[in-house]
Structure 1
Amino acid sequence: MPNDLVTVFGASGFVGRHIVRALTAQGFRVRAVCRKPNLANYLLPAGHVGQIQLLKANINNEEDVARALEGAVAAVNAAGVLFGHGLQSLEAINADASGRIARAALKADVGTLVHVSAIGADTQAISEYARTKGLGERAVHEGFPRAVIMRPSLVFGPEDAFFNRFAAMARFLPALPLIGGGKTKFQPVFVGDVAAAVARAVSDPAMAGRTYQLGGPKTYTFRALLEFILAETGRKRLLMPLPFWLAGLQGFFLQMPSFILPIKPMLTVDQVRLLKSDNIVQDGAFTLDDLDIEPTSVEKIVPTYLWRFHPKGQFRDVQRLAAH
């Protein structure tokens, strides 16, 4: 039981909460950095009494970041946004804050920094999300050269924004959009595997300076994933091919309210741009296999939380058994 302190930025997010759980399971004390710690009390049961400390901090503020790193032996940056709003813009969070955390970690003599990025991160990408993720990686390398970069593909788990979102849409819509014809490829990775990889990086000095691409055991097209969602939720819906240009037009109008109100849009122009590129692990990259982590399949995990979107809810399996 190391009993060492690890600072986790973005601890209350989807990936961050699982990272906190993985670190506490290894015996680390965790300083969970959040913008609104009063809404993050659900993190506390992930550890023993006193093992997790909630800290209010703004990662856009250098003093807050420095204070969050005091006494930490390692830090994890799991902060990131898919759609920006106000001061929480893509540039500010994905790029600028990443560099700020890296520089502060080096100054605070933190031993290890793990940065959660994304497959497709590229400073020259047409998507602002992918571009700012690429800028963030560059800033991290410049500020903390021995940082470990984690690039997950589409991350799935009980709180994910992909399977849950499309399952919810299928409850009310007669058709689901096949943006770009549904040909884009994904390699979905379980959030628990991502968290395990991050926790391993915190405690393994041999991983310093490496970039890992994290993907699951199988690749799927966008169409195949929607078909899987419909099968698991017992819904029969039309899959309507939607050209990129038309999807971009819809995204333009759907994102407009989010420029005024702090709400997450169903679709944005930038998300359509993201779908123009496959999201899979590249040949020759460091992967989960190099960490002796066996990737968990979509089929094993996703049905355990999509049942609530089925017309029969938790009784869907009773119906299946009766049919046999």
Structure 2
Amino acid sequence: MASDGKELRGKLVTVIGGSGFFGKHLAQELLSRGARLRIASRHPERAFRSKTSGNLGEVQFVRCDVTKPASVAQAVAGADAVVNLVGAFAGDLDAVQGSGAGKIAAAAKAAGATAFVHVSAIGANAESKVEYARTKAEGEAAVLTAFPKATVLRPSILFGPDDNFVNMFGRLIAMLPALPVFAPTAKLQPLFVDDAAEAVAHALAEPGKHGGKTYEIAGPEVLTMAELNQRIAAAEGRSRWLIELPDAVGGLIATFGFLPGAPITADQFALLQAGNVASGALPGLKALGVSPRPLGLYLDRWLVQYRKHGRFGAKAKAG
């Protein structure tokens, strides 16, 4: 039977950590499929604009701290499905994305949810020396113990018109005549945020098919950090000196922060060095019925704001 695009019609979906970049895009995808949405976050007011994406009564907001079990229980009460987007690079990472993720899954199970999607990250590794990667892997294990039919998604770096990834480099290239490139040969496989949102929606719509499985979801093209910066500069029509830092130098800057405005921490540098591409050992977007769109499809349009004179300026040939 053909789908009408409303596979989640009438279902209440709680999105834990739904006030961030990914959460705002996911809200639009879920509402477009007929879901009712409960956005749970420490700062739900940051997601208030999502209310206009739904009809009257379709979107509600709950203040939730994942380190406080009572607030998690309140957030998932009565939910048909739960999505966990919570993650962090600093603070008590075990409480947030390690054992804490398992507690969220357990609360969802106790509340009677029939589907649970846990968003982890490519590079999750229980043996990693980097706490972020290690606790991401521990969180996956804890989720599957508490909710065996949960779906685990490991996305690569997400990009979108309002991201803090492409836009960060876009701003720096617009401002500076020269820009250091950290880990210039590190490989990335950036994923369009709306494609990631579609993957979550498909997993929620068919928990019998996707539950208990782990997917690596990444974009259709692999590029290095140097190539990424070159393409951003070209889209801005700017000629910039991109200084490819040796890893020894980049590591020192990331560790000690002696370059003003260094946009990377030591752990982030270590993760970047390791690369952010799908391993190929796990199913990907195709298995979820998603056809990913490339970064190049959007760069010229999104980065016009960083060109000299904006949309009214001619796009110069970047060198």
TM-score, structure 1 normalization: 0.90
**Change in CA separation of 1:275 and 1:74 when aligned onto 2, cut-off 3 Å:** same
Identify which of 17, 24, 27 aligns with 1:17: 24
Counterpart in the other structure of 2:3:
none
Counterpart in the other structure of 2:235:
232
Residue 320 of structure 1, CA deviation:
4.7
SS in 2 for 1:40: helix
Alpha-carbon distance in structure 1 between the residues aligned to 2:171 and 2:229:
12
Taking the TM superposition and a 5 Å limit, the aligned residue runs for 1:162-241 are 162-180=165-183, 182-204=184-206, 205-241=208-244
Give 5+ residue unaligned stretches, structure 1: 258-263
Counterpart in the other structure of 1:254:
257
Alpha-carbon distance in structure 2 between the residues aligned to 1:132 and 1:285:
20
Alpha-carbon distance in structure 1 between the residues aligned to 2:61 and 2:301:
29
Counterpart in the other structure of 2:35:
28
Counterpart in the other structure of 2:132:
129
Alpha-carbon distance in structure 1 between the residues aligned to 2:301 and 2:136:
31
Q: CA RMSD in A?
A: 2.1
Counterpart in the other structure of 1:98:
101
Counterpart in the other structure of 1:304:
301
Residue 158 of structure 1, CA deviation:
1.3
Is 1:59 the counterpart of 2:80 in the alignment? no
Is 1:281 the counterpart of 2:283 in the alignment? no
Give the letter for the 1:31 counterpart: R
Q: Conserved in 2, the CA contact under 8 Å of 1:158 and 1:302?
A: no
Residue 127 of structure 1, CA deviation:
2.2
Alpha-carbon distance in structure 2 between the residues aligned to 1:197 and 1:294:
10
Identify which of 80, 84, 109 aligns with 1:77: 84
SS in 1 for 2:113: coil
Q: Conserved in 1, the CA contact under 8 Å of 2:43 and 2:63?
A: yes
Is 1:38 the counterpart of 2:40 in the alignment? no
Alpha-carbon distance in structure 1 between the residues aligned to 2:24 and 2:101:
18
Give 5+ residue unaligned stretches, structure 2: 1-5
SS in 1 for 2:66: coil
Q: Conserved in 2, the CA contact under 8 Å of 1:244 and 1:272?
A: no
Give the letter for the 2:43 counterpart: K
Task: Output one character per residue of 1:243-273: Cα deviation in whole Å (capped at 9) or x when no partner.
Answer: 3332232223439x9xxxxxx9721111111
Alpha-carbon distance in structure 2 between the residues aligned to 1:252 and 1:6:
40
Residue 174 of structure 1, CA deviation:
2.5
Alpha-carbon distance in structure 2 between the residues aligned to 1:302 and 1:101:
37
Alpha-carbon distance in structure 2 between the residues aligned to 1:216 and 1:39:
27
**Change in CA separation of 1:215 and 1:54 when aligned onto 2, cut-off 3 Å:** same
Tell me the percent identity. Answer: 38
Is 1:267 the counterpart of 2:267 in the alignment? no
Task: Output one character per residue of 1:50-104: Cα deviation in whole Å (capped at 9) or x when no partner.
Answer: 11101111111101101111110100001112x314xxx3333221321110111
Residue 16 of structure 1, CA deviation:
1.2
Q: Conserved in 2, the CA contact under 8 Å of 1:13 and 1:79?
A: no
State the 4+ residue runs in structure 1 displaced beyond 6 angstroms. Answer: none
Alpha-carbon distance in structure 1 between the residues aligned to 2:218 and 2:50:
26
Q: Conserved in 1, the CA contact under 8 Å of 2:202 and 2:289?
A: no
Aligned residues: 308
SS in 2 for 1:6: strand
Task: Output one character per residue of 1:278-301: Cα deviation in whole Å (capped at 9) or x when no partner.
Answer: 211122421111122111110112
Residue 312 of structure 1, CA deviation:
2.5
TM-score, structure 2 normalization: 0.91
